[in-house]
Chain A
């Protein structure tokens, strides 16, 4: 039984990392959104699994949030925005897919090395989860910095945050997990609204098209 729980948790966490890589691989916005929905779904599953394993019912709330809010509402909203702004073109990347993948590999390796230094007596389930969570976080960050497109950057941020939730739920008996996940959902909602409000097509840094590059701090 013990082995099985470990395997399933491990499997789900691993899948999450895999999906992060898939996200990193996508170069069409719609596909990216679908991938993110999958990401959220896997997260929901793994959280639910943790809830079951640790028999901590409040975690089911987190799972529900992940499922409903992230896997359904947000992707739909973003679809909507993309249609509105009419930007279902290629995602302009800073680095090519291949190199992004390589970087991702490096990051995963790094997080493994860092986490496996953790002394063995900490229980293996949590340790593996942590390693995967860290890689998910790093991959999300990588995505944010390698994409020029606001939507994909949000997706990056959200998958980063998925990693956090994974870690939080992996930490057995950690209080405030639900509160935290809610807080984060609010944060993400803010961002999405912000994008919608400011009609940010290209990048975060400009508030609308004609303001593009006009003001950047202390010029003039």
Chain B
């Protein structure tokens, strides 16, 4: 039933094949085009999952929940590959990258896609763990691709912290298996998601608790929750911008997805501790912490990396609160954040290329010198700051209002955090986009299409959401409980 033409397997097979191919092929134009093509095909396959969903096997599963993630991942992966084509071209010209590394880069890109898709469609918690580890390793390699001291060091930091995270996550996974074994019986079934979810109520609560603690810390490291976030800013700042976009836009989501799965597991077991409060706490900590960290940033990419931490905090908070409204808001916020943040990184990438630096101090008056880039960035920041009529406002509206009625104090902390973050972002935006032009003013040869495509989607979502999508999201929200 899982032939290579089956969409589920296609989502995995296409990137894998592309990776193999791209390692072999020389030539920048060709490989870039192939890269785009592969991601496009993957996206199409993912979309087709709407229509024909395969019955879950012991390894693969497609349900409402991960379908959201898959479509989002493949879409952003596609647009990012388009952006990366023009971006990497420029990198080649200025000689920051050599063709050899470029080949490697494209292969790794596809491998990352494969790993993330695998992690999403995996019906087996072990496979999921392996996939996430794979994704981490590929990104580690790509972060270090510039071979500068800073890049290598960032990659190294990412690698070490990531490995510890992986180890903790594995321990959690093992514990889940042990909790499941007495109920489900030995062997594969005790790791198959669809089986676990049906029997969760009978599991040993104490084991589940310990398991969740380890999973929260293990995958939380990938999500970038404070205080486990340390790798994130440097990895974003030092890697190639497309990778920063993918990291912020996708990898964090994938890790969060894993976390959500296990949260559902715990939620089904009445005797186990409620996962909500833990996630709420970590979410708030990340939000407030990141908001303050934004102020002293001098590197534009690192700043937006911290903003990603902030938003991951909000999303985790929303899912932690639970309930139909908050869960819906969390999903919406995650989608919007992926689109917006990657759009911002597209803009930032070109800006950094125009200015020849990532130091905020060396940028200024972009709306004068490069109006399209400048206004694109302004729009992006307005969106990420949660100002209407863009999509993030809706999710923040739902989060705050639904929370304030239930836990006022939390809502007030949340609001303060958001406000502090907004203040910091605009403080920097003012110097980057407005005022007297500063720094080099080259013409950017860039493809603005991906950026504006994302922003347009965010804009539309903020005003009008197609009912089908809404119903779908609401189902997922119910699923998450």
A114 nearest CB neighbor, chain B only = B210
Instruction: State A181–B167 Cα separation when bound (angstroms).
Output: 11
* Ranked 3 nearest A-B pairs via Cβ: A173-B186, A117-B206, A176-B126
Q: Which of B103-111, B193-201, B296-304, B307-315 contacts A (4 or more CB under 8 A)?
A: B296-304
A160 contacts which chain B residues (CB < 8 A)?
164, 167
A164 contacts which chain B residues (CB < 8 A)?
167, 170-171, 174
What would be 27 A-B contacts, judged by CB atoms less than 8 Å apart? A114-B206, A122-B204, A157-B164, A157-B167, A164-B170, A164-B174, A168-B170, A171-B174, A175-B191, A176-B130, A183-B130, A183-B133, A191-B159, A205-B157, A207-B149, A207-B152, A207-B153, A214-B149, A215-B149, A215-B150, A217-B233, A217-B237, A217-B302, A218-B233, A218-B237, A218-B299, A220-B298
Q: Which of B76-84, B175-183, B333-341, B384-392 contacts A (4 or more CB under 8 A)?
A: B175-183
Partner of A211, one of B133, B153, B204: B153
Taking Cβ atoms with an 8 Å cutoff, the residues of B that contact A are 126-127, 130, 133, 137, 149-150, 152-153, 156-157, 159-160, 163-164, 166-167, 170-171, 174-175, 177-178, 181-182, 186-188, 190-191, 204-207, 210, 233-234, 237, 296-299, 302
Instruction: State A122–B207 Cα separation when bound (angstroms).
Output: 10
Instruction: State A126–B296 Cα separation when bound (angstroms).
Output: 50
A176 nearest CB neighbor, chain B only = B126
A215 nearest CB neighbor, chain B only = B150
Contacts A161-B167, A215-B153, A218-B302 given; indicate if A119 touches B204 (C-beta within 8 A): yes
Instruction: State A89–B353 Cα separation when bound (angstroms).
Output: 47
Instruction: State A90–B206 Cα separation when bound (angstroms).
Output: 42
Q: Do the beta carbons of B181 and A171 come within 8 Å of each other?
A: yes
A171 contacts which chain B residues (CB < 8 A)?
174, 177-178, 181
A184 contacts which chain B residues (CB < 8 A)?
167
Q: Is A59 an interface residue (CB 8 A)?
A: no
What's the least CB distance linking B299 to chain A, in Å? 6
Q: Is A206 an interface residue (CB 8 A)?
A: yes
Q: Is A187 an interface residue (CB 8 A)?
A: yes
A16 contacts which chain B residues (CB < 8 A)?
none
List 14 extra interface pairs beyond A171-B178, A176-B126, A184-B167, CB under 8 A.
A117-B206, A141-B164, A157-B167, A164-B174, A168-B170, A171-B181, A175-B187, A179-B130, A187-B133, A190-B137, A204-B160, A217-B233, A217-B302, A218-B302
Q: Do the beta carbons of A187 and B156 come within 8 Å of each other?
A: no
Contacts A130-B178, A164-B174, A218-B296 given; indicate if A173 touches B187 (C-beta within 8 A): yes
Q: Do the beta carbons of B156 and A207 come within 8 Å of each other?
A: yes
Partner of A218, one of B153, B171, B205, B298: B298
B137 contacts which chain A residues (CB < 8 A)?
187, 190
Q: Mark A179-214, 1 if CB is under 8 A from B, else 0.
A: 110011001001100100010000011110001001
Instruction: State A191–B234 Cα separation when bound (angstroms).
Output: 19
Q: Is A41 an interface residue (CB 8 A)?
A: no
B188 contacts which chain A residues (CB < 8 A)?
175
What's the least CB distance linking B229 to chain A, in Å? 12
B207 contacts which chain A residues (CB < 8 A)?
118, 122
B170 nearest CB neighbor, chain A only = A164
Q: Do the beta carbons of A126 and B149 come within 8 Å of each other?
A: no
Instruction: State A184–B153 Cα separation when bound (angstroms).
Output: 22
A174 contacts which chain B residues (CB < 8 A)?
174, 177-178, 181, 190-191
Q: Do the beta carbons of A121 and B182 come within 8 Å of each other?
A: yes
Q: Mark A102-134, 1 if CB is under 8 A from B, else 0.
A: 000000000000110111011100100010011
Contacts across chains A and B counted by CB atoms under 8 Å: 115
A133 contacts which chain B residues (CB < 8 A)?
171
* Residues of chain A from 127 to 181 with CB closer than 8 A to chain B in the complex: 130, 133-134, 137, 141, 144, 157, 160-161, 163-164, 167-168, 171-176, 179-180
Q: Do the beta carbons of A218 and B297 come within 8 Å of each other?
A: yes
B210 contacts which chain A residues (CB < 8 A)?
114-115, 134
B152 contacts which chain A residues (CB < 8 A)?
198, 207
Contacts A117-B206, A118-B206 given; indicate if A172 touches B186 (C-beta within 8 A): yes
B187 nearest CB neighbor, chain A only = A173
Q: Do the beta carbons of A205 and B153 come within 8 Å of each other?
A: yes
Instruction: State A132–B390 Cα separation when bound (angstroms).
Output: 52
Instruction: State A173–B187 Cα separation when bound (angstroms).
Output: 5
B303 nearest CB neighbor, chain A only = A218
What's the least CB distance linking A170 to chain B, in Å? 8
Contacts A171-B177, A174-B177, A191-B163 given; indicate if A180 touches B170 (C-beta within 8 A): yes
Instruction: State A189–B153 Cα separation when bound (angstroms).
Output: 18
Question: Which residue, A119, A126, A176, A190, has most C-beta atoms of chain B within 10 A?
Answer: A176
What's the least CB distance linking B157 to chain A, in Å? 7
Q: Do the beta carbons of B157 and A126 come within 8 Å of each other?
A: no
Instruction: State A134–B170 Cα separation when bound (angstroms).
Output: 12
Instruction: State A126–B133 Cα separation when bound (angstroms).
Output: 26
A207 contacts which chain B residues (CB < 8 A)?
149, 152-153, 156
Q: Do the beta carbons of A187 and B163 come within 8 Å of each other?
A: yes
* Residues of chain A from 2 to 24 with CB closer than 8 A to chain B in the complex: none
B298 contacts which chain A residues (CB < 8 A)?
218, 220
What's the least CB distance linking A210 to chain B, in Å? 9
A198 contacts which chain B residues (CB < 8 A)?
152, 156
Partner of A167, one of B156, B171, B233: B171
